[in-house]
Amino acid sequence: MAFKLPDLPYAKDALEPHMSAQTFDFHYGKHHAAYVDKLNAAIEGTDLAEKSLEDIIKATENDPSRSGVFNNAAQVWNHTFFWNSMTPKGGGKPSGDLAQRIESCFEGGYDGFRKAFSDAAASQFGSGWAWLVAKGGKLEVRKTPNAHTPLTEAGVTPLLTLDVWEHAYYLDYQNKRPDFIAAWLDHLVNWDFAAKNLQTI
């Protein structure tokens, strides 16, 4: 069962001016597509070929002999999750139960969350991800390097993620990662997606 590059949940120019169609041409059309192709080549004819993407990630995370499989599988999952973590005319503060959970779980409420999330995204050295996750009834901010994902942590549910690999923002923001983070929170973050993920727990 070969994996396919998933359709974007919006047109590639739908997030402009905060994320350009040119960025999607490279990030989605080349980087994400390459992860899919490399994953399919790596699992063809192996015991992983018929497994789900999530099962492949969990089966290979701690296996040094299959680090290439893990990296490509996790990047396919992380990027698909990232596209859904954004929406046209998104950003700002959440509402409903999610807003209440953020208010209760972060000192300072939304402002406390925003600082924690922005700090995690800005301080991730090199390539990686910033996450809002749920664990044990609480919401937490995480950061992971390279392809790593909280999907593999027992009892942890990812709610949304921000990609801080340079190819996510360099064409639009050059080396100004903090500007990218602020624009993402102000204009792109998809709180409805996060709320739906929270409801699955």
Read off the pLDDT of residues 134-187 as tens digits, 9 standing for 90 and up: 999 999 999 999 999 999 999 999 999 999 999 999 999 999 999 999 999 999
Q: Which residues make up the CATH 1.10.287.990 domain(s) of the chain?
A: 21-84
Q: Is the pLDDT of residue 1 over 80?
A: no
Q: What distance in Å separates the CA atoms of residue 25 and residue 155, rounded to the nearest whole number?
A: 35
Joined together, the tokens standing for residue 89 give 């005319």
Domain topology for 21-84: Helix Hairpins (1.10.287)
Query: What is the tens place of the pLDDT at every residue in 20-39?
Result: 999 999 999 999 999 999 99
Query: What is the tens place of the pLDDT at every residue in 40-83?
Result: 999 999 999 999 999 999 999 999 999 999 999 999 999 999 99
Q: pTM higher than 0.85, yes or no?
A: yes
Joined together, the tokens standing for residue 182 give 């602020």
Domain topology for 96-199: minor pseudopilin epsh fold (3.55.40)
- Is the Cα torsion angle 175, 6, 4, 146 positive or negative in sign? positive
